[in-house]
Amino acid sequence: MASKSLTSLDLYKLTQEIGYINGGFIRNVKSGKNEVYFLIFCGKEVWLKMVPGSHISISQEKPEETTDYPFTGLLKSVFKGRRVKASMHEPDRIFELKLDDFLLSLELFSKGNLILSKDGKIVQSLYNRNYSGRKVSADEIFSYPPGKANVFSMDLDAFTATVKASERENIVKTLAIELSLGGEYAEEVCFRAGVDKNMPQMNCSDENLRKIFSSLEEIIKKEVRPNIIDGKLLSVIELKHIQGDKEYFDDINSAVRAFFSAPEKDVRREKIEKDNEAAKKSIVAYSSAIDYIVENYEDVSRMIEAVRDSKTDIEKRKEMLKVKGWSLEGRFLKKDDSPDIKIDITRPLRDYLNELYTKKKRLSRAVSSPVKVINRPKRVKVTQSPAWYSKFRWFITSHNRLVVIGRDVNQNNSLIDKHVEKDDIVVHADVFGSPFGVVKNGANADEKDIDEACRMVASYSSAWKAGATNLDVYFVYPNQVTKTPPSGESLKKGAFYIDGKKNYVKNVSLGLYIAFSPAESEIGVGISASEPKNNFVLIKPGNKKREEVIKKIIKKLEEKMNITINPDEIDRLLPQGKCSIEKLGF
């Protein structure tokens, strides 16, 4: 619980408490930095917040800041307008939303994940993960983590068998790990049962096991008393083995919201401040020693010579030092009232003085503002989509249509030959050097979807490099695109012949948005034809070199989001030719 994540028991009881959302209609889907929100109507409108690796909660307040990722658009297209059932996959820390054919699994363990699957196959996941015997990525078979005993449904016989089969070193670790209770709840069970938590399970008598099971049933099936202890520990029951300042709540959801909304202690800042304070004290000490030696250089030098004089008895030399307020410890001469002055008599005094100057200078440079250190831009990894279309240029339209665009002649061929289906539409600009674009399920697309697809195809055409600001673009249907020209005509390599009427969209404006979607320790970077809500850059044809534009975008990321990324991640999204930044949305 110290890692800010719900335990299995927390999730089990919370899922029961919010059971009223079952059968509710999903009206909207939003996402934040590392969370997804579902607007559910269940007699009233509530927002279900799902945070991978952390928690779930319910609120009637609309999320303040949201950023729609492509994954968000996918979830919206799947869930919006449909009834769902919420449940926990016992005993794992996995919360699920179920439709007839889709399953959304929120993993709260480890770093967390959000996995959308259909008929047992993964459609998309928030993060790709590789575990032993389990792979999480698009098109893989969906599977749960290796099964553990379900503590929420077992009887005494099953409990006894599980405990006795455990290879953990004691009973509390068996309860915490094998039965997924977590450390604090496992200790509470032992405390209530009156059984030594460190007792090896093989030494547990049947009577002790019955007592433990009885305490376990009481905690799981009967008791609910949510509270936060000392602001650091969330518990859905009364933890009798822990004393502390306990804040109680009327329901688990309220406790969860309070616990996870509380600001976390800034350990990094505290460490920097502590180190700086220690360094400042050392600087003062070095300065004092330097000042004393500089003012009394000749006297100290003569005293060192006297101490080195082996003709004088060592005890007499020590007595002489004592009178002057000094002492000798081995080869070091120390001033009694200034413990920071410690002179090696085997070295010249000037060397010691230079050493003090060097240490003071080094520490003075090291002492820095905690705010400045904390706010140093953090390099983050750009999330790579595992989907088939990730090797192409792609984006999601305002109405959640996937548009895929070829990067070159070879990709144009691959896109048309392998990925066009009968319900798609094909987009091409009326200029030599235009990529092909495909609007998936475009036969059902509306005018806005088509306009956005046309804008992106125009932007990635040779017209951008030529400095054009507008271009005519057309769309056709898959059966009109062929590599077989009319008799007597020929096609260049990589070209296609369009048979029949072309549906023109005139004077399409060139320009595109680069959007940044932070999530966990990564960031999504993608393109869009429509303006995102926040964290974006609008690019249009201009007179600035690509390097200048990229540098300015990187600088803005550092200033506004305190992160930096590989410049190549932006370069690959820019059209060929010079450009300009028309708008910053940070």
Question: Which pLDDT tens digit goes with each residue over 212-240?
Answer: 999 999 999 888 999 999 888 999 999 99
**Average pLDDT of span 98-108:** 93
| Domain closes at, from 346, 374, 402 | 374
- Helix pair angle (349-366, 267-295), 10° resolution: 150
Using the predicted structure, report yes or no on whether residue 271 has a pLDDT greater than 80: no
308 shares a domain with 423: no
Q: Report how far residue 450's alpha carbon sits from residue 113's, in angstroms, rounded to the nearest whole number.
A: 33
Element housing 486 (H / E): none
What pLDDT is stored for residue 267 in this prediction? 53
**DSSP letter, residue 298:** H
Using the predicted structure, report yes or no on whether residue 505 has a pLDDT greater than 70: yes
What pLDDT is stored for residue 171 in this prediction? 94
Which residues pair with residue 429 across a beta bridge?
473
What is the number of H-type helices and E-type strands within the chain? Answer: 17, 32
Q: Fill in the amino acid letter for 293.
A: I
Q: Tell me if residue 195 falls in helix, strand or coil.
A: coil
Neighbours of 38 (CB within 10 A): 24
Reported confidence tier of residue 375, pLDDT bands at 50, 70, 90? low
**Average pLDDT of span 116-126:** 92
| Distance between first and last Cα of the chain | 34
Contact 283, 360 (CB under 8 A): yes
Using the predicted structure, report yes or no on whether residue 3 has a pLDDT greater than 90: no
285 shares a domain with 422: no
What pLDDT is stored for residue 475 in this prediction? 96
What pLDDT is stored for residue 371 in this prediction? 47
- Domain annotation covers residue 1: no
What pLDDT is stored for residue 85 in this prediction? 94
How many independent structural domains does the chain possess?
A: 4
More confident residue, 126 or 529: 529
Q: Report how far residue 231's alpha carbon sits from residue 265's, in angstroms, rounded to the nearest whole number.
A: 11
**Alpha-carbon Rg for the chain in angstroms:** 34
Reported confidence tier of residue 1, pLDDT bands at 50, 70, 90? very low
Least trusted range by pLDDT, from 372-376, 476-480, 510-514: 372-376
Using the predicted structure, report yes or no on whether residue 131 has a pLDDT greater than 50: yes
Using the predicted structure, report yes or no on whether residue 444 has a pLDDT greater than 90: no
Q: Tell me if residue 328 falls in helix, strand or coil.
A: strand
572 shares a domain with 446: yes
- Domain annotation covers residue 144: no
Residue matched to tokens 């993060």: 127
Using the predicted structure, report yes or no on whether residue 86 has a pLDDT greater than 90: yes
| Domain closes at, from 224, 246, 261 | 261
Element housing 165 (H / E): helix 156-165
More confident residue, 3 or 554: 554
- Domain annotation covers residue 579: yes
257 shares a domain with 275: no
More confident residue, 348 or 65: 348
Q: What is the side-by-side order of every strand in the sheet holding 227-229?
A: 233-235, 227-229, 246-248
**Average pLDDT of span 535-544:** 94
* Mean residue pLDDT across the chain: 89
**DSSP letter, residue 202:** G
More confident residue, 69 or 154: 154
326 shares a domain with 444: no
Structure tokens at 243: 């004393």
574 shares a domain with 504: yes
Q: What is the side-by-side order of every strand in the sheet holding 36-41?
A: 25-31, 36-41, 45-51, 55-59
Reported confidence tier of residue 373, pLDDT bands at 50, 70, 90? very low
289 shares a domain with 328: yes
- Domain annotation covers residue 356: yes
Q: Report how far residue 477's alpha carbon sits from residue 424's, in angstroms, rounded to the nearest whole number.
A: 7
Give residue-wise pLDDT tens across range 315-371: 888 888 888 888 888 888 888 888 778 888 888 888 888 888 888 888 887 675 444
Contact 84, 40 (CB under 8 A): yes
More confident residue, 519 or 543: 543
- Domain annotation covers residue 496: yes
Residue matched to tokens 């429509």: 530
Q: Report how far residue 8's alpha carbon sits from residue 89's, in angstroms, rounded to the nearest whole number.
A: 10
Q: Fill in the amino acid letter for 237.
A: I
211 shares a domain with 88: no
Q: Report how far residue 111's alpha carbon sits from residue 85's, in angstroms, rounded to the nearest whole number.
A: 25
Q: Report how far residue 65's alpha carbon sits from residue 60's, in angstroms, rounded to the nearest whole number.
A: 15
What pLDDT is stored for residue 266 in this prediction? 52
217 shares a domain with 131: no
353 shares a domain with 402: no
Q: Which domain holds residue 309?
A: 268-374
Q: Report how far residue 526's alpha carbon sits from residue 534's, in angstroms, rounded to the nearest whole number.
A: 13
Q: Report how far residue 202's alpha carbon sits from residue 223's, in angstroms, rounded to the nearest whole number.
A: 29
404 shares a domain with 320: no
- Domain annotation covers residue 53: yes
421 shares a domain with 323: no
What pLDDT is stored for residue 17 in this prediction? 96
Using the predicted structure, report yes or no on whether residue 40 has a pLDDT greater than 80: yes
Reported confidence tier of residue 485, pLDDT bands at 50, 70, 90? confident
- Domain annotation covers residue 382: no
**Average pLDDT of span 399-423:** 93
